[in-house]
Amino acid sequence: MSSNPMSISAFDAIIVGGGHNGLAAAAYLAKAGQDVLVLEKLENPGGAAVSAHAFDGVDARLSRYSYLVSLLPRQIIDDLGLRITLARRRYSSYTPDPADGSRALLVDNGDEAATAASFAAVGAPDGEFGAFTAFYAACRQLTEALWPTMTAPLLARSDARALAARAGADAAWEAMIEHPIGQAISRELGSDLVRGVVLTDALIGTFARADDEDLQQNICFLYHLIGGGTGDWDVPVGGMGAVSGELERAARDAGATILTSADVTAVLPGGTVDYRHGGQDHSSSARWVLSNVAPVVLDRLRNRPATVTSAGAVTSAGAAAGPNPNHRREGAQVKVNLLLKRLPRLLDGSVSPEAAFGGTFHINETWSQLDDAYRTAAAGAVPSPLPCEIYCHSLTDPSILSPELQAAGAQTLTVFGLHVPDRLVTAENNEDRRAELQAAVLASLNSVLAEPIEDLLLTDPDGRPCIETKTTLDIERAVGMPRGNIFHGGLDWPFVEDGEPLDTPARRWGVATDDPQILLCGSGARRGGAVSAIGGHNAAMAVLESEPPLRNG
């Protein structure tokens, strides 16, 4: 591809992939005066942080993949002048008791007494609400201490630990960092249901058990609690596309060039990037190449083979020298978007659907159900019941619906089904598996409703029900996340082990590969996972720290 290129032009930085992280990196670098080219394969930038008209002829712009924001630092919003609104939800979670759907746990941040009563109503042991509150308060001591480090040069483990100790978070460090998080959850909490609610934070997008020794579930748990120091998950007003849209605007306003429908075909040594655009091959070069694509995708573009380790994960030649040995870890979810005529009635008559769907709605996610589901999936089958969590965007932010849909009372639902590892999905079975998973999600949902969800689905102008289901393979095909892993691969601690080299800006910022000119700027960077723009910020900081400021001084 690099022979006979249509054009050769030089930039300070080329960013491979225009996901929200690539856009953030572009905005920072362009603001610092660098000449930046972003190459995005799809027609629109944003990657997995986008809104879409998912149903033909229906004016509802759904957050198609990611939907809630926790990890986007205020500092990045301010630095880049992003005009986004993140709405806080009153209700934390609602969890029906699978043994008796007429009772449920409602964690209401606005009503402590009602929440305490709700713990009792689901048969939690005496003192469970206090233990639950104390557990999260202890976790918060650690997350508040570590959060500011996410956008700073990496700490070594012992320095991070010392920071935690100064914040009085020794116990939380032990529980969250040193031992499988399942130990602390089962030690501090007695109810199967309450334990399950807590454990889900360790399992979103991660195929793991509570007691796994490799601690992937702990890292996932930490990321779910660390955002803003508080772990609040907020609703992006206007949908996730509004977040990427603002990052795109900031990058363009600062002078970055963003080329869409530009498919990068090779990343070559010396900062050369080949791509196809407008039916022709092009080649551009830069002093820096920032990879917003997953590390495994970068390896393919660099024509480097990947190797399987004994643990089943695959590391690659590039990964070996980079920050994450875990890049081929599979995704483990099914995502379903629905548009409803109205919210469904619940089996539990004591809570309004608005309250139940106002926070995260957990279904079939008790501790033992999660473990059963893991074992079923590990044995090669779709779990039944399928653990699911649901979120209703339109209750908090109706602006994603047309005025007509709003007036008619329509609501969106997003379902994230857990423990569906990518190994269950193949190119051959994807269609059938998608149908099976959709049926499993609907069955799980219906297990807590007083009426079938199918009856409430709106239809598009051709009479098709407004429901779309995405397997891990669908997600890989749509946005290039390897094996549908929503974080581009396994997550890493937000610190390095003692003795790991921090001798270059790229290593200090957790964005290094084995080529000093190529940096990771996406979810695959250390600390880059989720909608946070942290990967983009940190890669840009590494570039700017590596060289004197350019034109804008």
**Interface with ligand FAD by CB under 6 A: which residues?**
16-22, 39-42, 47-49, 65-68, 71, 263-264, 292-293, 297, 335, 475, 479-481, 486-487, 522-523, 528-531, 535
* Residue among 175 and 425 whose Cβ is closer to ligand FAD: 425
We find the least distance from the C-beta atom of residue 380 to ligand FAD, in angstroms, to be 22
Would you call the peptide bond into 385 cis, given omega within 30 degrees of 0 as the criterion?
yes
* Residue among 21 and 191 whose Cβ is closer to ligand FAD: 21
- Residues with Cβ < 8 Å from 46, sequence gap 6 or more? 18, 19, 20, 23, 240, 241, 244, 245, 248
Region label for 527, one of left (φ > 0), alpha (ψ between -120 and 50) or beta (otherwise): left
* Residue among 184 and 273 whose Cβ is closer to ligand FAD: 273
* Residue among 271 and 529 whose Cβ is closer to ligand FAD: 529
Q: Give the CA count within 13 Å in the CB-facing half-sphere of 68.
A: 24
Contact 149, 142 (CB under 8 A): no
We find the least distance from the C-beta atom of residue 48 to ligand FAD, in angstroms, to be 4
We find the least distance from the C-beta atom of residue 292 to ligand FAD, in angstroms, to be 5
We find the least distance from the C-beta atom of residue 14 to ligand FAD, in angstroms, to be 11
- The vertex-344 CA angle with 338 and 347, nearest 5°, equals 130
Which DSSP string corresponds to 134-171?
HHHHHHHHHHHHHGGGGGSSPPBHHHHHHHHHHTT-HH
We find the least distance from the C-beta atom of residue 334 to ligand FAD, in angstroms, to be 9
Distance CA 303, CA 500 (A): 27
Residue 464 per-residue DSSP state: -
* Residue among 129 and 416 whose Cβ is closer to ligand FAD: 416
Q: Which of 264, 298, 257 is nearest to 5 (CA)?
A: 264
Q: Which of 335, 310, 290, 269 is nearest to 472 (CA)?
A: 335
Q: In what order do the strands lie in the sheet with 91-97?
A: 100-108, 91-97, 360-363, 388-391, 411-417, 334-340, 467-470
For tokens 């027609």, name the residue.
43
* Residue among 347 and 400 whose Cβ is closer to ligand FAD: 400
Dihedral sign from CA coordinates of 529, 534, 539, 542: negative
* Residue among 66 and 206 whose Cβ is closer to ligand FAD: 66
We find the least distance from the C-beta atom of residue 540 to ligand FAD, in angstroms, to be 13
* Residue among 19 and 325 whose Cβ is closer to ligand FAD: 19
- 3-state SS, residue 35: coil
We find the least distance from the C-beta atom of residue 129 to ligand FAD, in angstroms, to be 27
We find the least distance from the C-beta atom of residue 276 to ligand FAD, in angstroms, to be 9
Distance CA 203, CA 416 (A): 11
We find the least distance from the C-beta atom of residue 204 to ligand FAD, in angstroms, to be 8
* Residue among 176 and 297 whose Cβ is closer to ligand FAD: 297
Contact 337, 467 (CB under 8 A): yes
